[in-house]
Amino acid sequence: MRFLITTPIYYVNDKPHIGHAYTTLAADVLTRFLRNQGKEVFFLTGTDEHGSKIAQSAKKLGISPKVFCDKNSRLFKNAWENLNIKYDFFIRTTDAKHEENVKSFLNKLKEKNILYKKNYEGLYCIECEKFLTEKELFNGKCRDHNIRPTKVLEKNYFFPLKDFLKKIEDLIKTEELKIEPESAKKEALGLIRQGLDDFSISRRKVRWGIKLPFDKSQTVYVWVDALLNYITGDGSKKFKQYWWENGYVIHILGKDILKFHTIYWPALLIAAGIKVPNQEFIHGFFTVNGQKMSKTLRNTIDPNNLVEKFGADATRYLLLSQFPFGQDGDIKEENFVKKYNSDLANGLGNLIARILTLLLLAKYDLQNPKYRADKKILEMVKGIDEGYKKYMGNLKFYEALKEIWKLIDYCNKYINENKPWELIKTNKKKSDQILSNLLYCIFKIVELISPFLPVTSEKIRNQLKSGKLEILFPRMGASY
């Protein structure tokens, strides 16, 4: 089976923070895991670059919106490079090919007579880039941005969302569109039951956007523009046929944008006669010291700083091992050092150093394992391997990491109990069997960690080949 894995495309108005990194890392880890299983995968990510907020930010800096987008889009690319995230294509909504695809998609809806024109008066929050209902306000202000929305009166083109709700409900219920975890599925079905209004797909007020092909006085609503990135992909015809239409499509996203992905997006696709995604996985939110992470609170954590401090592999581990993927969780930066020391320096790093030291001491021929691992070890590893695969396939990264660390802890205990350093002198045969067992376990660990810690995995492989010991994760002092 071939897979298309996507992240949301990130707003260039913000700088990359660990919330963005979390979604992108998850997609990267899943991609690497599936490739290890011999699957074909296309991994798509990118940046969302239109809307008045972006035009305003550029104006403040005295530069054109395009220059602003070029600069900020690069920040995301750099952050992903630092985290060793390997996507297949990085889409930008200002790419000419994407703009062309958006226009032809809207032309298609127009030709099918799906869109209608209507006067629209609403309260528009420029920060959310969306209309808010009275109910959604708090003291007349947007709850998320604490600003008063502006009253906007426009004649817009509307998309008849209501006509598609029943169909979407069926797709979700039958799992033709699989929404995970269960709580997110319930939320999507709840929104449908409550009833949702038709939405306007164009804006007269927003100038920095893609012009509507059949009415140049309007631009395409940023969310429609952004969602369409998933079918534009790298802009090739092959992408649409090979990856979208014939692939198993998985969207990974955070819970704040559930409505757009689970309801608006499938509706647009059904209307245009295009296949809907197969699966959407909705993850939770990071708070920092109990508070929502936001620019205004100045508590955003820059993934680049973490990489500088801990290295790419450790940062990848630290972010994905915080809490189960579908849930919310709180981050305390000082816990990163503790976790780094306990799991990576003392856990994995120390284990590899211990085993390699023992192998060298015993003059064990690393190229030719002496014995097959014994039955008990084979069964234990098989159990771990099965658990790991099940979790990874369901994007349960936190649980999958726990399985790997079970094996690491087992090996550390196994060494303590069997004391091979003594047996090397007294019972060579027994010590060789123990070392063969440990070598078997390391090879398994190397395989299982590779989607999370690709560089470390490679380093261990090389150490096993060359027999040269190298510290993988130096311990960090508390002052860090």
Q: Does position 22 bind ligand MSP by CB under 6 A?
A: yes
Where on the phi/psi map is residue 290: left (φ > 0), alpha (ψ -120 to 50), or beta?
left
CB 82 within 8 A of CB 309: no
Q: Does position 405 bind ligand MSP by CB under 6 A?
A: no
Q: Does position 164 bind ligand MSP by CB under 6 A?
A: no
Tokens, residue 442: 């390391």
Which residues, 6 or more positions from 151, have their beta carbon under 8 angstroms from its beta carbon? 121, 122, 123, 124
Among 3, 20, 53, 355, binds ligand MSP (CB under 6 A): 20
Among 128, 132, 196, 257, binds ligand MSP (CB under 6 A): 257
If the CB atoms of residues 9 and 318 are measured against ligand MSP, the closer one turns out to be 9
Stretch that binds ligand MSP, among 17-25, 173-181, 361-369, 448-456 (CB under 6 A): 17-25
The residues in 210-239 that bind ligand MSP, with binding defined as CB under 6 A, are: 226-227, 229
Active site residue 411: no
CA–CA separation, 174 vs 163, rounded Å?
Answer: 19
If the CB atoms of residues 11 and 105 are measured against ligand MSP, the closer one turns out to be 11
If the CB atoms of residues 219 and 456 are measured against ligand MSP, the closer one turns out to be 219
Q: Does position 95 bind ligand MSP by CB under 6 A?
A: no
If the CB atoms of residues 23 and 437 are measured against ligand MSP, the closer one turns out to be 23
Active site residue 125: yes
Active site residue 128: yes
Stretch that binds ligand MSP, among 80-88, 210-218, 285-293, 334-342 (CB under 6 A): 285-293
Identify the sign of the CA torsion 115, 117, 123, 125.
positive
Active site residue 283: no
Shortest Cβ 10–ligand MSP spacing (Å): 4
Instruction: Write down the catalytic residue from 125, 130, 185, 251.
Output: 125
Q: Does position 325 bind ligand MSP by CB under 6 A?
A: no
Among 4, 23, 269, 434, binds ligand MSP (CB under 6 A): 23
Identify the sign of the CA torsion 190, 195, 201, 205.
negative
Tokens, residue 145: 């941005």
Q: Does position 285 bind ligand MSP by CB under 6 A?
A: yes
Tokens, residue 58: 């550029």
Other C-beta atoms closer than 10 Å to the C-beta of 37 total 12
Shortest Cβ 56–ligand MSP spacing (Å): 16
Binding mask 46-85 for ligand MSP (x = CB under 6 A): --x-------------------------------------
Identify the sign of the CA torsion 438, 449, 39, 367.
negative
Shortest Cβ 223–ligand MSP spacing (Å): 7
Active site residue 441: no
Instruction: Write down the catalytic residue from 77, 108, 145, 309.
Output: 145
Among 3, 4, 5, 9, binds ligand MSP (CB under 6 A): 9
Stretch that binds ligand MSP, among 15-23, 158-166, 332-340, 406-414 (CB under 6 A): 15-23
Supply angle C-alpha 15, 131, 45, rounded to 5: 35
Instruction: Write down the catalytic residue from 17, 53, 185, 261.
Output: 17
CA–CA separation, 170 vs 166, rounded Å?
Answer: 6
Catalog residues that contact ligand MSP under the rule CB under 6 A.
8-11, 14, 19-20, 22-23, 48, 226-227, 229, 253-254, 256-257, 285-286, 293
Q: Active-site residues: which are they?
A: 17, 20, 125, 128, 142, 145, 292, 295
